[in-house]
Structure formats: structure tokens, C-alpha cells
Amino acid sequence: LDPTSQRVINSFTIRVSGIKKNRMEVGDPEGKEFTVDQIAEYQWPLQGGELYMIQEQISTYLGVKSFKRKYPDLKRRPVEMEERTFLCDSGLVSESMCDLGL
């Protein structure tokens, strides 16, 4: 992650019973801890493309169930089949995440 992305993610906070707490980790669907280090930031197309992140990973990390509803103004685009294969083969996303759809 670049320093700006890192600051945005690390500054995310939640309120529980009136006490402000930092959200550092949440569990992923496979039962493992999901940390900021596991969020994929990749370039697509590989040569000269833009940098992207996987919405599902950000949503899992932040503990947000409806990411689109909570952040409607964020730019989104569908993941191409070749891109999906690249993400899965390179280990940037889990097999189950690919199966559920990116």
C-alpha cells in the first residue's frame, strides 16, 4: 500500500458503547485474521496501467457489509476475466474470493 492508502486505512475508527476504538483486524470468510498487509494493491494492465485494490478485501478489513451503500461515490469497475486469473494465480486474492466473484 502507498503511504496515503495506509493512512486512510489506519485512521478508520469505530464507536462501541461511546468509546472510540481503532479497527485493526477482522476475520475473513476462511476463518483467518485479515490484516492490512493482506490487502492487494496491483497495477492493471500490468504494463502502464492504473493501481487498483479489491473492494471485497477493503470491506472485509473495515468490517463493512455493504461497501457500495456506505461509500457510493467511490469509483468502481468490473474485474476482467484475465485480471481475475492474474489475481488468483499470483495469490493476491483467495480461491474462495475468486469463486464468489470479484
Is the pLDDT at 27 greater than 50? The verdict is: no
Overall domain count for the chain:
1
pLDDT per position as a tens digit, 37-77:
889 899 999 998 999 999 989 998 998 989 999 999 999 99
Q: Facing residues of 22 across strands?
A: 13
pTM of the model: 0.62
Q: How far apart (Å, rounded) are the C-alpha atoms in residues 100 and 36?
A: 21
Residue range of the domain that includes 50: 3-100
